[in-house]
Amino acid sequence: MLSYNKLKKLIEEKQNILLIDVREEDELKYGVIPTSKHLPLSELQEALEIDKEEFKRRYGFILDRNKRIILYCRSGSRSGQAAEYLKSLRYKAENYPGSILEWSKYDDNVEGY
C-alpha cells in the first residue's frame, strides 16, 4: 500500500510517475500534493473519450498507459474508484489511500478538511 513516506520519496526522487488529483475544482483551495495534475473524477470518463490533443489542451498533461499513475482525493475513496476505472482500461493506476487527509498531517501547505 502506498504511504505518505513512499509517495514523498517518489516525488523527491523525480520518479517517472503521474500524480493526479481527482477532487473537484473548489476543493483545490485546501492545497495540493506537489507535482500533481488535476482531473476531477466527475470528468474522468468523458476526458478519456476526447482525443489526446484536446485532453492535453484541457488538462495540461497526457495520460500514458506505460506510466505509473497515482491518484488521490480527500480521503482515498474517489481516487480508489478512479484507479479501478483506469485499471479496467489497462492503465498502470493505483490509489494513494491516505490522500489529502494523510498528506495534510505532514505538509503545512495542505489543509485537511
Q: Which residues are catalytic?
A: 73
Dihedral angle of Cα 6, 11, 17, 21, to the nearest 10 degrees: 90
Per DSSP, the residues of 12-26 read HTT-SEEEEE-S-GG
- Return d(Cα 71, Cα 78) in angstroms, integer: 9
